[in-house]
Structure 1
């Protein structure tokens, strides 16, 4: 295994909570973020400036960032947030945030359901958002969803994903995160997709992988991506998450499961596994159900 260190991009507070029906109090969300940071996670995506009618759970985004500012000081401005459009960017700029992400789609149907735009039209929406963010000195990450399959369109051709992803990245992003939104990817498919992006001129250090565990393949897919040279992986503490616009999307790759595998391979993450487990157990109590993460269940039981 070539990688000596992997960066885990923690998405629990945003992608993990966005699909929860029970509204989590802002103070609990803030503690979730601060606990994850204290556990050594280098990047924690805090929230999304999406319209509250789309994702009610994240309606408190500005309040959350204000509370985190009170608790963390200037470092709160380093926490990335998702912005769906220029209006969301305006809110991020008002708060002096330094890192944003945009969220595109590799398929026509999901673009229309999630963005209310066609596959082609999404670029016209993102271009001014990314340009203005870059002009203001912000770092921009680009997500592309439905990279391995779409619940309405079925399998998605690799060349289509590469074309959409590279175009999003070329708007001015520093990193492209490839999402298996409904968790249908397999290890061989992962290798093929990464190879497609490399053949199109992108380097593996410009790519991140975002796996969901619907079919129990997320960890195997992460191992496959690791073998291809990927060193940034999105994960969600406790395996929380899903997509409000794709009902077949279940939880994200659990941060704890990923850390357990990486540490077993001798790869550094800087993450205190027991601290993340304790945080996931704490959050599971707030949500009223146990964590789906196998490592959380195993370690929480062993610590009792």
Structure 2
């Protein structure tokens, strides 16, 4: 696998898809050789220098710790890294929706991690989408958004559980319904019950949940507290004084009210019942 870039930027920046293309070389996608980083730095749009959040060193240390800790089981790195990436890189949702930020992190700061985590033995290549793709496919954005969508207020434990199943986070992040917090928590609980375990079963469950959402209003069935924009603002502002995230215990997320337990229980039972008649390919009628 490739080594980390010789020239690491000190700060995150914005790297457009067009600017990134020349650096997605055949050697890089084959995991043979990366880039030095100097030329890439010339096409990056800088972010405000007075914002501590854009410092690269804490992110780079976190990524290297993940590679070391999970060298024998790379897919397990997702559940460890997602909450810690989210707690380290404190973004508003608007900032996190900017693909240019994630492209810069993947190509300029940690292309070696992308290669380490997403090299495909079947194709002998890395999918370019892992460097600059959609938010649910890109190496780092998928983890940040999984943490954002599956955390229960400040509790990241459900994020670990969700990220333990690649099919769940891939399927869930493509659907708007996951923005309803009780739905996200109920999906984690359903998987915890062992109701849906295979990729086909999870896709069938998600299809059924999505279809039911077309006729049911989940907000009415399982109400949630309205979002408090001040929580997000405080979370971002506290980045200035926040300590490094712990490696052996979960960090603490935004000080947001947890999802009402009654709503999670209601939806968990409802989704488990839905799965009984969900269209699962290959399952007997």
What TM-score do the two structures reach when normalised by structure 1? Answer: 0.26
- Structure with greater proportional strand content: 1
- Structure with greater proportional helix content: 2
Query: Which protein has the larger Cα radius of gyration, Structure 1 or Structure 2?
Result: 2
